[in-house]
Amino acid sequence: MFVPLPPGGTVIGSVKAMDRDLPATGVRYSLISGGGTGGLSNIFSLDPKLGSLTLLTRPDYETTQTYSLVIRAEDGDTISPLIATTMVTIDITEANDEPPLCGPNRTDIIVPKDLRTGSNIQGFIMTCSDRDSPSASFIYSISGDSNLNNHFVFSPSSGTNVTRLFLKEPFDYESGLDRVWQYSLTVLVSDGNLRSARSEPRGLTQTGTVIINILVVDPDLTTVTTTTIPRVTYITITENTYSIDHWYIWFVIALGTMLLLGLLSYLLYHLCGKLYKALKHGDCSCCEPRPREDKEVLIPEPTPPKREIFMVRVYLQSGYSLATVCVKVPLCSRTSIQLLVTVLSIYTLSLFQEVTKINTVFDGEEVDPGKFL
């Protein structure tokens, strides 16, 4: 069964089943599967008594080209009904049912009145596409009511999906030929080009519409503000991330977790041990701060008294040394030395005495006075 894209509600065919049992009880039809497309569960309807197949909505050739419907027929026996199934294939033929889509649409353009003919108006470029027509099938035209005095034209006018807007005739406001300063061009784009080399006719042509608003200004009196054609800018954003498949990520996380758990376990072990000791033995020394030893000396140590060393030599008159006495006494005992010398002088008749002071400050070292002789 071939269907050339009829509208919705059209009966496109029927099925018929025969029951040879007598008496005749009639046959009931039902559609089991195969009619869904484009998010719709079923675009076909089957009459349960007549078996006529109706199209609920217009099919889309670009979405689905073939439908395989499974239809069931059941007799009217109420005790043991008999069932038979059949498959109906529906082929959708291609048709020109999609209009051209062009852009940019509803663009605002400002044109100076002294623009030279043959100039591409602000570089305007229009691009079209059609789901069921090739690029060579497009024809471009401007509605005569919107293009007063035939100032504007598209080139190329057919055979391509890309065209440009040019100024065909100059503006003449000085002589009064032109009085309109604002234009709203209605561009008609048809896909019915006969030179598109179609293999076979596909029905009626489809037409798309584009609106272009043009404002003509005097550059000597008005500041011309140009507009750019909308463009699509693609921005690529790269983020520093990692893949879940990298093994070292999980290894580092697991290692860090184990080290952290080990440190926490160590601290808890010592803390619990000290708490247990304090609770069991009543020893709270672990919880009290220990005093630190103060190394600063508050009372200085007493220094030993200074001592003087005197060496006493007793000489005979002949000059020979009779005795040598080394005395190490405190400073306060100098009178003792004088007393000793006096006693020696009494018992040795006429003697010559010599007292030598060796060291007046005792530095704590033991020194033999004899080495100075």
Share of the chain above pLDDT 90, in %: 26
Residue 72 predicted with pLDDT over 80 = yes
Residue 303 predicted with pLDDT over 50 = yes
Q: Comparing 146 with 276, which gets the higher pLDDT?
A: 146
* Predicted local distance difference test score (pLDDT) of residue 61: 77
CA atoms within 13 A on the CB side of 115: 21
* Predicted local distance difference test score (pLDDT) of residue 35: 77
Q: What integer is the mean pLDDT of 37-56? A: 83
Q: SS3 sequence, 69-85?
A: EEEEEEECCCCCCCEEE
Query: In angstroms, what is the C-alpha Rg of the chain?
Result: 62
Task: Name beta bridge partners: 324.
Answer: 313
Domains of the chain, earliest start first: 2-92 (2.60.40.60), 101-217 (2.60.40.60), 307-363 (no CATH)
Band (188; pLDDT cuts 50, 70, 90) = very high
Q: Where are the alpha helices (DSSP H) in the chain?
A: 247-281, 334-347
CA distances (Å), origin 247, targets 252, 260, 331: 9, 20, 89
Q: Comparing 236 with 107, which gets the higher pLDDT?
A: 107
CA distances (Å), origin 125, targets 152, 319, 337: 14, 142, 133
CA distances (Å), origin 31, targets 27, 36, 73, 77, 155: 14, 11, 9, 20, 53
Residue 97 predicted with pLDDT over 60 = yes
Band (349; pLDDT cuts 50, 70, 90) = very low
DSSP output for 81-141: --EEEEEEEEEEPP------EEES-SEEEEEETTPPTT-EEEEEEEEEE-TTS-GGG-EEE
Residue 366 predicted with pLDDT over 60 = no
Q: What integer is the mean pLDDT of 34-53? A: 81
Q: Comparing 31 with 311, which gets the higher pLDDT?
A: 31
Task: Name beta bridge partners: 75.
Answer: 27
Share of the chain above pLDDT 70, in %: 66
* Predicted local distance difference test score (pLDDT) of residue 185: 94
pTM value is 0.44
Kindly report, residue by residue over 201-233, the tens digit of the pLDDT.
455 677 889 999 999 998 887 555 555 656 677
Residue 102 predicted with pLDDT over 90 = yes
Band (8; pLDDT cuts 50, 70, 90) = low
